[in-house]
Structure 1
């Protein structure tokens, strides 16, 4: 039986390790690739760059920034996506307060404080409170940020700062869709995923207990099992 082509899109400051467990767990039924979400500074350009390298038809899953890019792919080429999974993501346009924070982060990054952003500003809201003393998890998150680097992070911030309102395309999504969110996600709270589920006609919702924003790392077994069920359905 042929494996399903599956593209996984990471979130901001995350590399392939965000999907480490899923890469292994889904390899028996899927031909998995990790999309590059670092080289462009607009959501549209990132979506086009993914599509240029993608198979003709494929399953697509994205977390946070990866979910925003996934929704843009659904705007550009919905006929190419067999199944869609949106993890811990947000279809809304940016608001003024968010843009102000991201502009401050760009200034910090350009002034030698790049890692300070992850360590002191992002980590406290990225993961479940019970995991903040998990040295292996925290070290991985910091190391992923180091690997992504300042320039790519600034690209990602510029992309989310200028993104479009994606709410209008949700009702047009026709492929089987799973929406998944960590119950304690402080970055993209549960109400955003409930809105996605209510707005996408084919969507179902999974809420992951004891997880913040990085659900694939915080509850990898649960997320992988749900993704396998989604792929098989």
Structure 2
């Protein structure tokens, strides 16, 4: 009997598109049916999650980065039985601090007034490790932001601002979970990864040295290797949902 190939759904972050996961989608196609979700069309995390579920197979492995992690948590609220395993990259379950929430609101207001320049030179060092500035990595980050555009940014930023607190959900996650974070991530601190690791039973934590907020672009080979190992991990019996 022919073995059924795993389905893998990849969720990008704010101002990211399919290019974020391009290396992984190509490299993992030998052992998984890979699809990269479009998270630019909806203005709430709940709507993004519903659309992913509508466009995904009945059961799938789920890997997500940053804003995509917020959507992943919502997918687990809406249809936990459909997710076989979870990989969380540079995201957090907690709500924003007051300072960060104010920054998001300010950026949203600027965009609504017509000012949107994608990822500014001032923001780029907060997204990626300094060794990748003025490289193909930074060029890809800017290209993705331009492609998502002003209206997509407004929808995504509003969704992030309005998202629910996912910390209470963490102790209910009972599927194989891997948490990955860049050691130099300035947007989602390593402390947030430790929090998720502590609360998700049996989870695995990987901290990538000399890496910022975007491991799939900054460390594509390492990210792919981690996902390949995670895909091959057999769940313990108590981690299997009954459909």
Q: Normalised by the size of structure 1, how large is the TM-score?
A: 0.96
Q: In the TM superposition, what is the alpha-carbon distance from 1:133 to its structure 2 partner?
A: 2.8
| 3-state SS in 1 of match to 2:204 | strand
Per the alignment, residue 211 of structure 2 pairs with 211
The C-alpha deviation readout for 1:86-115, integer Å capped at 9, x for no partner, is 000010112322221112212222344311
Task: Say if 1:90 and 1:193, in contact at 8 Å, map to a contact too.
Answer: yes
1:55 aligns with 2:57: yes
Distance 1:210 1:128 in 2: 6
Per the alignment, residue 164 of structure 1 pairs with 164
Per the alignment, residue 19 of structure 1 pairs with 21
Per the alignment, residue 5 of structure 2 pairs with 3
- Give the number of aligned pairs: 231
Per the alignment, residue 198 of structure 2 pairs with 198
Q: In the TM superposition, what is the alpha-carbon distance from 1:121 to its structure 2 partner?
A: 4.1
In terms of fraction of residues, the more helix-rich structure is 1
Distance 1:173 1:160 in 2: 21
Q: In the TM superposition, what is the alpha-carbon distance from 1:144 to its structure 2 partner?
A: 0.4
Distance 2:74 2:167 in 1: 11
1:127 aligns with 2:164: no
Distance 1:221 1:203 in 2: 22
Q: In the TM superposition, what is the alpha-carbon distance from 1:132 to its structure 2 partner?
A: 1.5
1:148 aligns with 2:152: no
Task: Say if 1:10 and 1:63, in contact at 8 Å, map to a contact too.
Answer: yes
Unaligned runs of 5+ in 1: none
Distance 1:121 1:105 in 2: 14
Per the alignment, residue 232 of structure 1 pairs with 232
Per the alignment, residue 184 of structure 2 pairs with 184
The C-alpha deviation readout for 1:53-92, integer Å capped at 9, x for no partner, is 1111100000000111101111111111001000000101
| 3-state SS in 2 of match to 1:138 | helix
Per the alignment, residue 119 of structure 2 pairs with 118
Distance 1:94 1:128 in 2: 22
Per the alignment, residue 71 of structure 1 pairs with 73
Q: 1:35 aligns with which of 34, 37, 44?
A: 37
More displaced, 57-66 or 89-98? 89-98
More displaced, 4-13 or 47-56? 47-56
Q: Normalised by the size of structure 2, how large is the TM-score?
A: 0.92
Q: What's the C-alpha RMSD, in Å, of the aligned pairs?
A: 1.2
The C-alpha deviation readout for 1:197-219, integer Å capped at 9, x for no partner, is 11001311011111100011000
